[in-house]
Amino acid sequence: MTNKTLPLATHLKDVSQIAYGCMGLGGGWDSNPITDTEITQARNVIETALDAGINIFDHADIYTHTKAEQAFGKVLASSPALRDDMYIQSKCGIRFEDEMGVGRYDFSANWISQSVDGILERLNIEQLDVLLLHRPDPLMELDEVAETLHKIHAAGKVAHFGVSNMSGHQINFLQSALNLPIVANQVEMSLSKLDFFNDVVMVGTEGFNQGDITPGTMEYCRLNNIQIQAWGCLAQGKYSEKGLDSEFENVRLTTQYVMELAAKYQVPSEAIVLAFLLRHPANIQPVIGTTNLERIKASALATTIELTREEWYTLFVRSRGQRMP
């Protein structure tokens, strides 16, 4: 496969093309304390990912109610040398329903600041490589957020900042008040979530702007050297062998073709599903979330192949379930 340079490599040297998303670590989404079994699971995942060449780990303070970070931090506490081999990013800004109110987003100075302190403590590290603001807060005070991020950076708590689930317009608005570059935007993108690609081909066509994204977001990120990270990139295994039995024809046809390509390139189906994203010239960085060690290894093989233009379009059209406009 042609060696590609990720936009994030401008800031994080030798960052891997694939990231590992830690949402599945730490046990259930409850208040139960983490167990030795969950810490062992986190260690196995970390070691497997690193051995497979995946060196950036994606967290969020809400994942399994902070337990994903706790389990990860326990591993780093017992094996601090692992920190030298990885980049760590986390996210903040989402608040669950509590005695104060309903589930909500919070970019206030106090919430961001205390969130970062909590993340660092749970992960047992002194600095985050990247902090992402998790989802847009309608009540965001631009200058307040900018001042807070500048203070956190100056204190050495966070090296770089990014966002998640934001449009190009929202990123541009935030960047207007920051002296620091926004380095990443994490959005949902996969063979079953094609809005970013449909945004390109549907211009001037009936049905344009019917997706779940704001048009132009991918182009904005590319023009401004912002790493596009794809969450949900494996589509929850939809295009593994089980997809052959789907009730939806487009899923069956896509899965069939994924299997054909897997046989051609002699890689597992996960590698083909991710290769679809990696083939795009935006140098998309998939964020895998499986805790299955074999699927982690399989996913890493996506970087060893490059789909042809015809193969990419066949996957795209079959998954769309309709011809190109």
Task: Tell me the C-alpha distance between 161 and 129, whole Å.
Answer: 8
Closest by CA position to 131, among listed 109, 159, 107, 165: 159
Q: Which residue has the tokens 């990231």?
A: 19
Query: Helix (H, G, I), strand (E, B), or coil: what is residue 178?
Result: coil
Q: Does residue 265 have an active-site annotation?
A: no
Closest by CA position to 292, among listed 92, 25, 75: 25
Query: Helix (H, G, I), strand (E, B), or coil: what is residue 204?
Result: coil
Closest by CA position to 22, among listed 303, 270, 231, 283: 231
What token pair was written down for 13?
């040297």
Which of the residues 20, 63, 220, 257 is marked catalytic?
63
End-to-end CA gap in the chain: 30
**C-alpha dist (Å) from residue 138 to 94, 106, 166, 168, 202:** 12, 9, 12, 15, 29
Q: What is the DSSP string of 230-298?
A: EETTTGGGTTSGGGGG-SSHHHHHHHHHHHHHHHHHT--HHHHHHHHHHTSTT--EEEE----HHHHHH
DSSP letter at 193 equals B
What token pair was written down for 306?
């490059």
Task: Tell me the C-alpha distance between 101 and 99, whole Å.
Answer: 6
Task: Tell me the C-alpha distance between 162 and 250, whole Å.
Answer: 34
Catalytic positions, written as ranges: 63
